[in-house]
Amino acid sequence: MQDLFHKMLVAMGEDPAREGLHATPKRAASAWTYLTRGYQQDPAALLKSAVFDIESNHMVIVRDIEIYSLCEHHLLPFFGVCHIGYIPRGKIIGVSKLARLADLFARRLQVQERLTNQIARTIMDTLQPEGVGVIIEARHLCMMMRGVEKQNSRMVTSAMLGSFHDSVATRNEFLHLSRHHDLN
């Protein structure tokens, strides 16, 4: 990967040997390895390491999970928040694993629509809850820095599975609770 970044600097018209750039190919390769580390992780194994049996059928929501990803079309970042909710059916997941799952899929080249669905589907397949809802709100630098250059635009995607899809009341409860509310 270092060689590719070196070639890219040359193709841009830069001199990779100049003082500010001589270590850039190494640093960039290291950064890209980190930014795409989700390819090296198994989502099912991640979740299965923290599944607990419990009798609960009340909605569980983790809100405002920060996500950072790279658009697969332009290789530019998009970033925002992810809200995850589910209704257990005898099994719950350690709360930090939901955030780790969102990060795992975000740390791959993505489109927001697929990212949202991957998170929801993995939770549904692993826990087999009554239902799952995932909402992602993100800003895309490919829209902000280039192209239409719309600085205040946000993309919102959702995936509703099981009771979150089938029941208007369940879906509305999730949508209401995932909005920002003061904790005071």
Considering the entire predicted model, what is its pTM? 0.93
The 10 Å Cβ neighbour count of residue 25 is 19
**Res 181: pLDDT:** 60
- Torsion-angle region of 179 (φ positive above 0: left; ψ -120 to 50: alpha; else: beta): beta
Rounded mean pLDDT of 105-127? 97
**Reported confidence tier of residue 179, pLDDT bands at 50, 70, 90:** confident
User: Based on the number of CB atoms within 10 Å of its own CB, is 136 exposed (0-12), middle (13-18) or buried (19 or more)?
Assistant: buried
What single DSSP character describes residue 81? E
Q: Is the pLDDT of residue 6 over 90?
A: yes
The 10 Å Cβ neighbour count of residue 169 is 8
129 neighbors 162 (Cβ within 8 angstroms): yes
Task: Give the residue numbers annotated as catalytic, written as ranges.
Answer: 71-74, 112, 140, 142
**Average pLDDT, whole number, for the chain?**
95
Rounded mean pLDDT of 140-153? 91
pLDDT in tens, 66-106: 999 999 999 999 999 999 999 999 999 999 999 999 999 99
Q: Where in the chain is the domain with CATH 3.30.1130.10?
A: 43-177
Hey, what are 73's tokens?
């079309």
What would the CATH number be for the domain defined by 43-177? 3.30.1130.10
- DSSP 3-state of 129: coil
Compute the distance between CA of residue 113 and CA of residue 136 in angstroms, rounded to an integer. Answer: 9
